[in-house]
Amino acid sequence: MQKPRIERLGHYEIVEEIGRGGMAVVYRGIQSSLNRTVAIKVLPPGFARDKEFIARFDREAETIARLSHPNIIQIIDRGSEQGTCYFVMEYVDGLSLDAFLKGQALTFRQLIEIATQVCRALAYAHAKGIVHRDLKPSNILIAKDSLAVKVADFGLVQLAQSAGELSTLTQSNIAMGTIEYMAPEQRRDARNVDCRADIFALGIILYEMFTGQIPVGHFKRPSELNPEIPRALDQIILTCLEPDPAERFQSAGELARLLQTALGEEPGVMDRIVHTVKSAGERATTAMRGKTRRVAAAGVLLAAAVIAIPAARGCRAPRGAAGTPPRATPEEVPAVEEKTAPSIPPVAAAPTATQPPVSASAPVRDTATPSVAQAREAAPPRASAPPGTPAPPVGAEADFAKAESYAAADMTKEDLRRYAVTSMRAVLENFKTVEPRWAEKAQMRIGQIYEQAGETTLALAEYRRLLDLFPQGSLRADAQYRIAECLKPSGFFGMLDLGRKEKRLKAIDAYDRVHRNHPASPYASKALYQMGLLQEEGGAAADYEAAIGSYERIARDYPASDEAPHALRRVAELCRNRKVKQYEKAVRTYEDILARYPDREEGFHLLLNIALVKETLLNDPQEALEGYRRVIREKPGTKDALEANRRYEALLQAATPPR
C-alpha cells in the first residue's frame, strides 16, 4: 500500500492507505488512546472550505453515528482538520462480497445467511430514516474466517451530493458498478428515493450471488441461468427487481423473513453447493432469449411462498371456506419474547366484518380484517393461570390490553408487528360501534406501530383512516399531529432532497391544520413550533417573517407551553438575521424572555446576547458596555461573565485614544 501523505488526523495516527475512490481515500489508522485499529475515510479538500457544508456534515454525521447494529460498520468519530473532513469507523479485517465470492464453493445456506444479514442492516437503518442509496458488493464486507456481514458507507452518497459531486467510493482492486445496482427511480432522481431503492439494489446482488451475472435489460429468470435455484427464490429475487417500487417488497424485514423460509420446504436445498457463482472479473450480462422475466406466482412457488409473498406485497393471502368465527372470550396473553419471532399460520376462515376503505394516498398491506380469534390462533400458546386467579375483565378494554402486550415488543420485527396489528384490527372491528373509544385507540395504535417500525407510508394511511372512521373522536388531534410528523421531510442528508420543498410545504399545511382544528389541544403549540422550524428552512426573508409569526402566536396564545420560551428565542435569533434586520426587536424579545421566563437566562445567555446585539448589530458601544457590566455583576464566575469581561475590555481599549 502507498505511504500516506497525511501522518495524523486528530487523535488518530495514519498507518497506510487501503483504498481510493472518486469521493474519498481510505486509510488504516490507530486510535492512540485505545490502541485500536480504525478505518479513516478522508474526503476531498474542497469539502472543508465550505462552511455551510461543514455545518451540515457535523449535523448529519451525528445521524449516521447513531446507527448501532451488528451488521453495520459503526462510525466512531468525525472531524475537520488541516482543511480535511474525515470519518473514523471500525476496521473490518475481511473481504468485500465481490472478493469473498471469487473462487468460493458456497451453499445456499451460506448465501442466504449473508443476504439475511444485509437485510437486517437495511431494516434497522430504514427504521431510523436512513437509506443507503449505494448498496453494492463492494460495500458489503465479510469478516475473515466467518460469515459475519458488515454493511459500509451508509450516507456517503448523500454526502457527495451535498458537495455537488455524485461519485462513488470504491476499494482498491474492486470494480465500480454503482449504476448497475441503481433502481430505475434512482436513475431518474438520485436524491428522491426511499428504502425500496435499497431493496432493488439487494435484488441485483442476490441475482449476482446465485447466478454469477448482473441482470440487464430483459434478463432471464435466475433459475434459467442456474437450474438448482428453487422457484420460490426465483420469485423473491424477481419481486425485488420490479421496476415499480410499489410492486417490490416494502421492507427489508419482509425480505429477510422470506429468504429464511422460502427454501425450507425443499429437502437438502440449503446445504446444496451453488456452483455457478463467478468471480467479479468473470461477471457477464445476459440478454433474455425466449421467455420474458416475469413469472406467474401460481404453480411455481412452494407452498410456504405462495402464502408469504403476496402478503408481503400487499395481496390478500389465500383463505379457506368462508365462515363466521365468533368473537373469542378474552384470554390472558403471554409477553412475546423479542428473540423468537413465531411464524403466522394461514387463516382458515374469513371474518364477518370487512376492512373499511383506507385513504387512497397510501397502500396498506394488511388488507385482511382479522378477528380476535384469528389473532389468538396466530399467537404463541398461552400460559395457564394459577388456581384461584380471578377472571380477567371482559370487553374492549381487556382485548385492547392483550393487543397492547404484542405492541410492547420490538415492532421492527415483521412477525411481532403483524401480531400487534392483527390484534388491534380485531379490537377495531369488534368494538367500533359498541365501544368506539377503544376502537379509536386501537386504530391510533396501528398507525403508531407502523410509524415506530419506520413504515411511514402505512402509518399515514392508518392515521388518515382514523380521521375518516371517527369524525367526533377524542384522538383526532393526536392523529393529525402524527400525520404532520410523518410528512415532515427527514432522514440522512435530507436537506439535499430535491423533493424536500414540496414535502416541507405539505408538512407546514398539516401542522397548520392541527393548530386551526384543535386550538385547545396540547398539540397546538407543538404544531406551531414545528411549522415555524419548517418555515425557517425556506431561507428567504418572507420565510423568516412567516416563522416569526408562528413563533409569536405561540407566545401570545400558549404562554404557559413548553414551546413558548423557545419560540421567543427563535424570534430573537431570526431578528438578528441579516435578511430580517430587526435588531432592536431582537433586544426587546430577549428582554421579554428574561421578564417572562427568568429561569431561562442561564441556558439562553439572554443578558450576554442583549449586549452582543447592541455592540455588533446596533453599533451602540455605550449600551453594550452597560450590558457587559450587567453580565459581570449578575453572573460572576460564569463563562458568560468571562466573555463579557473580555469584550468589555476590548471596547474600552478601542475607545481609548492612543498616546
Catalytic residues, by residue number, are 134
Rg of the chain over all Cα atoms, to the nearest angstrom: 29
- What lies within 8 Å, CB to CB, of 560 at 6+ separation is none
How far from 55 is each of 27, 159, 497, 606, CA to CA, in Å? 24, 12, 17, 24
From the list 582, 641, 579, 581, the residue with the least C-alpha distance to 611 is 641
Rounded Cα gap, residues 256 and 50, in angstroms: 41
Rounded Cα gap, residues 112 and 315, in angstroms: 25
β-pair type (140-143, 149-151): antiparallel
How far from 11 is each of 38, 47, 88, 485, CA to CA, in Å? 11, 21, 10, 39
Sheet holding 75-81, edge to edge: 8-9, 12-20, 25-31, 36-42, 84-90, 75-81
Residue 278: what are its φ and ψ, rounded to 5°?
A: -105, 165
Burial-class residue 12 by CB neighbours within 10 Å (0-12, 13-18, 19+): buried
Rounded Cα gap, residues 399 and 395, in angstroms: 6
In the chain, what's the furthest Cα-to-Cα distance? 104
Instruction: Tell me the DSSP string of 440-507.
Output: HHHHHHHHHHHHHTT-HHHHHHHHHHHHHH-TT-TTHHHHHHHHHHHHS--STTGGG-TTHHHHHHHH
Q: What angle do CA 181, 262, 282 make, to 5 degrees?
A: 35
From the list 452, 450, 444, 445, the residue with the least C-alpha distance to 469 is 444
